[in-house]
Amino acid sequence: MTEELPDPGEVPALDWIDKHLITVDPLYQRPLDAERAATIAKAFNWRSFGALVVVPAGEGFHVTDGQHRLEAAKLHPKVTHVPAVIVQAKTIQSEAGMFVDINKNRKNVSSLELFFAELAAGTGNAVETLKAATAAGIRIPKYPGSYRANDTVAVGVLSTLVRNYVDVKVQIILATVAAGRFRPISAAQIKAVECLLTDSEFAPVIDSDDLAVFLKSTGTTLDGEAKRFSATHGVPFWKALASTWFQKCKKRRAKTSAPAETIRQNSPAPVKQAPRPLVRPDIAARAAEMVAKNVPLPRQNVTSSICGDPAPGRSALDQRKASA
């Protein structure tokens, strides 16, 4: 190597330090995530703890890397001392600069890398997730980049799907997604199909076979419309995609709880009602009285001759016209 490398500086010391002697300087450290620290404490294991990076500060030390592991150690009653790399920093600016240097070039483990690590270790539900994806014709590539149809790196969504549903339901959802031949299959597409086949609003009228045919013919052509829907309504893209697909996909009549014939058989017989009289009772009585007295009834406007003109208004005007 021809390029000259920088001087690595003073060799740090390695030691086991009383956990209560190490504190966090809030001037440059991130706020503590108590839930994350509690999760580490519940699964505390020296094999995965590693060493903290600390700097001398008064009678104790400041942690520059590993504050959540430190907090987890403080929560664990059986942990008294923690391994640490002790480096020197003369000022708080130097200490903060060390924090920047450690975290600036750090590459976090991706969900895909973690999935294959769990697969090798046999932990989590990585094995079950891979089996479910493979059975549906979906491939999880170890190195993303050059995708084929039905490849996916959305292992987090797949894992949640396997954890939340029985095997048969998982296969229906994944087989429906695979029918779209997406390249690659995104997390949004999996969640949209899951929503359409399980949500109480959509599932009664969306059939998995119809949705599979729809996705095969549509592909990603509605993504633009879904993105506009997402921006306009302020909803996640997968929800907008599910709503857009729902509007275009074939729908079936929702299933009723019992056949119509059964409902008719179990329903009570309708009560027959007497027909409403065509003439008001008082008018009929007055007409009968006139007939009994041999008073001839007029050929027009019988109601007016018996009961007189109605109250003023349009009907009264029509009544007078009819009597003319």
48-94 pLDDT, tens digit per residue, is 899 999 999 889 999 988 899 999 999 999 999 999 999 888 777 77
Radius of gyration, CA atoms only, the chain: 40
Domain boundaries, the chain: 13-104, 111-248
pTM: 0.61
Say which range, 109-113, 160-164, 211-215, 263-267, has the weakest mean pLDDT: 263-267
Residues 44, 60: Cα–Cα separation, whole Å: 24
Tokens representing residue 137 in the block: 């014709």
Mean pLDDT, all residues of the chain: 84
Q: How far apart are CA 61 and CA 53, in angstroms?
A: 10
Comparing 316 with 188, the larger pLDDT belongs to 188
Q: Give percent of the chain with pLDDT exceeding 70.
A: 79
Higher pLDDT, 315 or 89: 89
What is 13-104's CATH number? 3.90.1530.10
> Position of tokens 């709503």?
243
Determine the Cα–Cα distance for residues 277 and 155; give it in Å rounded to an integer.
Answer: 74
Residues 6+ apart with CB under 8 A from 134: none
Q: What is the DSSP letter of 109?
A: P
CA-to-CA dists, residue 168 to 154, 200, 207, 283, angstroms: 20, 18, 15, 73
Helix 237-248 × helix 223-233 angle, to 10°: 120
Closest among 171, 187, 174 to 112, alpha carbons compared: 187
What is residue 259's predicted lDDT score, i.e. its pLDDT?
A: 55
Q: Provide the pLDDT for residue 291.
A: 67
Q: What's the pLDDT band for 237 if we cut at 50, 70, 90? A: very high
Which one has a higher pLDDT value, 183 or 99? Answer: 183
273 pLDDT band, cuts 50/70/90, is: low
Q: Which residue has the higher pLDDT, 136 or 144?
A: 136
Q: Between 187-198 and 237-248, two packed helices, what is the crossing angle to 10 degrees?
A: 50
- Residue found under tokens 């009228």: 205
